[in-house]
Amino acid sequence: MANAICVMIGQVNAFGVVFFKMEVTECVLVKGEFTGLPPGKHGLHIHSFGDLTNGWISAGPYYNPDDETHGAEEENKKHAGDLGTLEVNEDGLAKLDLTVQHFHLTGIHSIIGRSLVANGQVLIKGTFTGLTRGKHGLHVCTFGNLFNGYHSIGPHFNPRKKLHGGQQDNERHVGDLGNIEANEEGVAEFQIEDQLICLSGAESIIGRAMVIQAEEDDLGKGANEESLITGNTSTGLAWGVIGITEVN
């Protein structure tokens, strides 16, 4: 039997303490409290390395010794590092109380010496004008290469080798942001919070392209091959490179 603790310090005033207790039943009890987090949902994961020289970026990918696909905590197939979602209240507080079987504190699936990371959310907001009324897919594509316009920005950004889906789906490209809706004047104002999109590290969208599509994204439910690649959005209406701007 073994016990472990992780004291987490992060951006702004974020702070957390998580206790791990190995039970005789081969389960690990995970209990923790967090303060100072932005209200809303935050992913919680064990990453492969305990190297924090460059914050969570140097902690490497999700701990995944069995090479499983990523999934929510209640699913059977998951990375050993998946701990599901933290629900943070309006006061920035969150509690964690889990019993997990997919990692251990000793042996080959031990998480000792690795990192625990509470993910932030990226807020994406904007306005489009001149659209046809109705829904239009919004995606981040792989390349920021506009040499050949829409044809050189590549497929939806998909570092996790998934099928196309909706923004809330587990099976989705990182670049899948669902649909935004234009009104009768052709204006679409939108605000999206996303847990997968990030602005630094190996899966950063900086330097890639954002595109608003001609058609509605069927979110992978179109019952044909193209639906699982592009969501049948036809072609792009407007696109641009995601660049760095000043902090505000």
The site for Zn ion, by CB under 5 A, has a size of: 4
Q: Classify each residue of 132-171 as buried b or exposed e, where b means 16 or more C-beta atoms within 10 Å of its C-beta.
A: eeebbbbbbbbebbeeeebeebeebbbeeebebbbbebeb
Q: What is the smallest separation between the CB atom of 90 and Zn ion, expressed in angstroms?
A: 33
> Nearest 5°: CA angle at 119, between 230 and 82?
80
Question: Does 194 sit near Zn ion (CB under 5 A)?
Answer: no
Tell me how far apart the alpha carbons of residues 169 and 167 are, in angstroms, rounded to a whole number: 6
Helix (H, G, I), strand (E, B) or coil at 83: strand
In the set 18, 116, 176, 239, which binds Zn ion (CB under 5 A)? 176
- In 3D space, the residue among 103, 71, 76, 140 whose CA is nearest the CA of residue 2 turns out to be 103
**Binding test (CB under 5 A) with Zn ion, winner from 173, 209, 233, 236:** 173
* Phi, psi for residue 59 in degrees, rounded to 5: -75, -5
- Shortest Å, Cβ 144 to Zn ion: 17
Q: Between residues 164 and 208, which has the closer beta carbon with respect to Zn ion?
A: 164
Residue 78 lies near Zn ion (rule: CB under 5 A): no
156 binds Zn ion (CB under 5 A): yes
Q: Does residue number 135 form part of the binding site for Zn ion (CB under 5 A)?
A: no
Which span sits near Zn ion by CB under 5 A: 17-25, 74-82, 159-167, 191-199?
159-167
| Residue range at the interface with Zn ion (CB under 5 A); choices 10-18, 81-89, 153-161, 185-193 | 153-161
Q: Which is nearer to Zn ion, 39 or 240 (CB)?
A: 240
**Which residue's CB is nearer to Zn ion, number 86 or number 219?**
219
Tokens 């998480």 — which residue?
Answer: 111
Residue with tokens 């046809």, as numbered in its chain = 132
DSSP codes, 86-151: EEE-TTS-EEEEEEESS-BSSSTTB-TTSEEEE---EEEEEEE-SPPSEEEEEEEES----TTGGG
Contact flag: residue 164 with Zn ion (CB under 5 A): yes
User: Nearest residue by C-beta to Zn ion?
Assistant: 156
The region of 81-89, 119-127, 165-173, 193-201 touching Zn ion under the rule CB under 5 A is 165-173
Which residues bind to Zn ion, rule: CB under 5 A? 156, 164, 173, 176
